[in-house]
Structures are given as C-alpha cells and as structure tokens.
C-alpha cells in the first residue's frame, strides 16, 4: 500500500483563526481538539491593537527563502541600509529569526539591549532613520540558544509587532528564518492588520536551493502574499586576481532565471559572490559602503531600486483606489 498522506498545500489556518480546528488541514493535527474547542476566531482586541501600532507603517517587505544560508539576512540588512541612505526615509528592520538571529551582528549592534519607554520597546538605532529589533537583543549572552517550540516563538513575534514603538516608518523590512512554518504563518497573520507590499525571495543558483524556494513561492501564493520578485545570490564569482568567472554553485537546472520563467515571477537580479560581503557582515558594516565599486554592490543597488519602485507604484495604485 503506498502511503497516501495528503500533504499538498495542507496549511494550518492559524490557532487564532475562525477555521482553527475545522479546516481540512486540521485532520490529524494533535492540536485539533484544542483549536476546535477554543476561541471562535482571532481576538478582535488584539487585531485592533496591532492595527493601531502598525498604522504608521507605509510599506512592508518580507524577505523569505525556504532555503537556509542563501543570504536572506545579508539582503535584509543591505536593503535596510540602501533604503536608509535617503535620510528623509524612516526604515525599520525586524528580525523574526528567533533561533538564529543574524541581524544584530550584521548591523554592528551586538551587545545592544532593548529599552522600554512609556510608548513601548525602543528599537535599537543604527542611524537616526534606521531602527532594528531582534531577539538577539534580548539574550543575556550571544551564545544562548533559544530552544522554543512554535507557540512561544509566535508570542514573541506578536510582541515585536505590538510592543515595539517604531514610530512613523516608510519601510518595514522583515527578515525571516528558512522554512514555511510557525514564524512565516504568524507574521503573515499578524501583518494582515496592516498591509504587506510583498515578499522578496532569496535563493542561490543550485537546484537543491531552488527546490525549497519553489515551495516558498507556493506558500506565498497559498497565503495570498504578493511576490515582488526573486534575488539570486552567490551567482558566479569573479577572481579579483585573474578576473576569471567561475560558477561556485552551478545552476544545473537553469538557476533562478529558469525557475522565475517557469513560475511567472520576477527575477529582481543576480548578485555575484564577493568575499567582502561575508567580511562586512561579520564586522557589522554595510557592504555597500565598504565596497562601493564591487559588481555585487551594483547588483544590490539595482535590486533595491526595483523594490522601491514596486512599493511606490503599489502605494500609488492603492491611493488611486481609495
């Protein structure tokens, strides 16, 4: 007998949703009884709280992958730096990777702590117009493992959205962990209180990455999250000495380009491997500022501009409708 587990696109509706315990996907989940017997729907007071807190956020971009280690956090950090280069824009970077928070180190903020004020938790500011929040700031030591199951992670993510006093924000960038699980479901659920412009999906060229990224694209479609486009990192390496180009992660199945064609999503750009990127990240410096002439910097800047254009255009259309 072939094991017939209908796993395709089965998705937890969310423990707080009206469908909790009742959706088709709930069959077989050990929480089903609890969910079905629990609250009939999302807590309206909670939703109102989140809406109020996020009211002053103009654009929200999620950085996703599916695959680990492809450069989500690197990209999120550089996107934040790139957008904040315009001093008239207020940028917020929220790191919801609870188990492996990379953003504090990449932004040069290791050792910083979160302070509370009357209006909530204060983000940690890198620049006057660039604020950051991460579980990394809540640990007593950087090596402390956060060994939490889903519900506790969801609780912290909700707190990040509800209790952080971001103020007026032009761009909220959310860095996520790899996968399609609690953190991803929760952030989409909680951010439905505001509106998400879309997701940027990061990959590397090889099929082992693409196969996870296709799943992430399906996740976005399933939860109706618009996809701004895909970024292909580690796309080729140019030797600084002989200038020869090598494919360190060969795109054996056509890379992100082919995948984007097949799935009808936008390829925002390809970023080559530059050892300076990793070094800048380790040192908490902006790679864009440290290596302004690198081909990787040029790629990143083009991609950031495309994202900005997408968001502005989207906003303009929304305003037209309203």
Q: Which residues of the chain form contacts with another protein (CB under 8 A)? A: 1-3, 5-12, 15, 28-31, 66-70, 98-100, 145-151, 153, 177-182, 184-185, 204, 207-209, 211-212, 214-219, 222-223, 278, 281-282
| In the complex, minimum distance from the CB of residue 103 to another protein, in angstroms, rounded to a whole number | 14
**Rg value, the chain, Cα:** 20
Q: Are 292 and 73 in contact (CB under 8 A)?
A: no
Our CB check for another protein shows the closer of 181 and 266 to be 181
Q: Are 25 and 13 in contact (CB under 8 A)?
A: yes
DSSP string, 144-193: ------HHHHHHHHHHHHHHB---SEEEEEEE--SSSSHHHHHHHHHGGG
CA-to-CA distance for 151 and 209, rounded, in angstroms? 28
| In the complex, minimum distance from the CB of residue 235 to another protein, in angstroms, rounded to a whole number | 15
| In the complex, minimum distance from the CB of residue 253 to another protein, in angstroms, rounded to a whole number | 10
Largest Cα–Cα separation, the chain: 67
Our CB check for another protein shows the closer of 79 and 202 to be 202
User: Tokens 């409708």 belong to which residue?
Assistant: 321
Our CB check for another protein shows the closer of 29 and 238 to be 29
| In the complex, minimum distance from the CB of residue 41 to another protein, in angstroms, rounded to a whole number | 17
Our CB check for another protein shows the closer of 29 and 298 to be 29
CA-to-CA distance for 259 and 266, rounded, in angstroms? 10
User: Across the strands, what pairs with 116?
Assistant: 121
| In the complex, minimum distance from the CB of residue 256 to another protein, in angstroms, rounded to a whole number | 15
Our CB check for another protein shows the closer of 118 and 275 to be 275
Closest CA to 263 of 239, 227, 237, 304: 227
| In the complex, minimum distance from the CB of residue 179 to another protein, in angstroms, rounded to a whole number | 4
Our CB check for another protein shows the closer of 184 and 270 to be 184
- Residue 132's SS3 state is strand
Joined together, the tokens standing for residue 214 give 């296709």
């Amino acid at each position: 007998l072939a094991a017939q587990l209908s796993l395709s696109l089965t998705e937890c509706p969310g423990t707080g949703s009206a469908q909790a315990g009742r959706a088709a996907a709930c069959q077989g989940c050990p929480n089903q009884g609890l969910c079905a017997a629990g609250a009939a729907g999302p807590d309206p007071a909670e939703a109102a709280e989140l809406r109020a807190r996020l009211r002053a956020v103009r654009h929200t971009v999620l950085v996703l992958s599916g695959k680990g280690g492809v450069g989500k956090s690197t990209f999120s950090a550089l996107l934040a730096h790139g957008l904040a280069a315009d001093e008239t824009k207020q940028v917020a970077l929220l790191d919801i990777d609870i188990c492996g928070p990379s953003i504090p180190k990449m932004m040069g903020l290791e050792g910083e702590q979160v302070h509370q004020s009357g209006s909530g938790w204060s983000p940690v500011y890198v620049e006057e117009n660039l604020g950051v929040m991460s579980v990394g700031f809540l640990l007593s030591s950087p090596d402390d493992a956060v060994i939490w199951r889903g519900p506790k992670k969801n609780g912290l993510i909700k707190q990040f959205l509800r209790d952080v006093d971001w103020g007026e924000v032009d761009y909220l960038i959310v860095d996520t962990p790899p996968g399609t699980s609690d953190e991803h479901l929760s952030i989409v659920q909680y951010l439905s209180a505001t509106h998400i412009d879309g997701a940027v999906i990061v990959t590397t060229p090889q099929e082992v990455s693409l196969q996870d990224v296709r799943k992430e694209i399906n996740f976005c479609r399933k939860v109706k999250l618009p996809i701004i486009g895909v970024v292909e990192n580690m796309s080729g390496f140019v030797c600084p000495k002989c200038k020869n180009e090598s494919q360190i992660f060969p795109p054996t199945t056509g890379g992100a380009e082919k995948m984007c064609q097949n799935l009808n999503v936008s390829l925002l750009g390809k970023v080559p491997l530059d050892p300076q990127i990793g070094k800048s990240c380790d040192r908490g410096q902006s790679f864009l500022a440290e290596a302004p002439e690198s081909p990787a910097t040029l790629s990143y800047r083009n991609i950031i501009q495309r994202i900005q254009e997408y968001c502005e255009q989207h906003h303009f259309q929304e305003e037209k409708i309203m």
